Homo-oligomer: A and B are copies of this chain.
Amino acid sequence: MQSPSAGSGRSLREIKTDAVAASIAATALVLFEEKGFDRVTVDEIASASGISRRSFFRYFATKEDVVVSGHAAFGEKIIERVKARPADEDVWVSLRRGYDVLVENVDRNPEGAARTMRVINGTASLRAHTLEKHSAWAVGLAPEIARRLGDADGRRLEADALVHASFACLDVALAHFDPGGDASLGTTLDAAFGALRPERTR
């Protein structure tokens, strides 16, 4: 078979694999919400998903990845968004706009996002994992911000501070955000960024 239907870049196998992974993740998330992340064993998830324990670890490298792996791609997307902002824009604004990727995603599927956030916020190791991932994204994002600041040597630390602080705002906004309430995540994020607005970011 070649090009199933006007070939999207992915083969049939990949599509099926992704679908299975999504199904496992959905099953697991329900269990995590019921019993708590670390009172659910991989064996339970596997049998509830109709696969073997060994196969589970072929879809997800770790139990944490079931919850977190869906967010892996966002790092790159945020960087792309920031790079696409006008070169003379205030970097604090550019950073804020980068996170619109996440805001859109949450707005698109509020219940799912809320469920995931509940599980993450209720589990120390998942919170830690998330923070570390954000920190890693920050490292990737910092060079772009340094470039916009002029890239003088003294600006590297400044760029790092701005980027990490912006992720701190994101984490605060995610913690304050009430998925059932009337305020969008975007509004909460605006408030966090506004609270911190640095004196000179150009």
Residues of A bordering B, CB below 8 Å: 124-125, 127-129, 131-132, 135, 156-158, 160-162, 164-165, 167-169, 171-173, 175-176, 188, 191-193, 195-199
Contacts and interface: CB of A to CB of B under 8 A. Distances in A.
10 contacts: A127-B132, A127-B135, A128-B131, A131-B135, A157-B172, A158-B195, A160-B175, A161-B192, A164-B169, A199-B199
Question: Which of A162, A165, A167, A176 has the largest count of B CB atoms less than 10 A from its CB?
Answer: A165
A164 B165 CA distance: 8
Q: For the complex, would chain A's binding face be called helix, strand, loop or mixed by DSSP majority?
A: helix
Q: How many copies does the complex hold?
A: 2
A169 B131 CA distance: 15
A132 B90 CA distance: 30
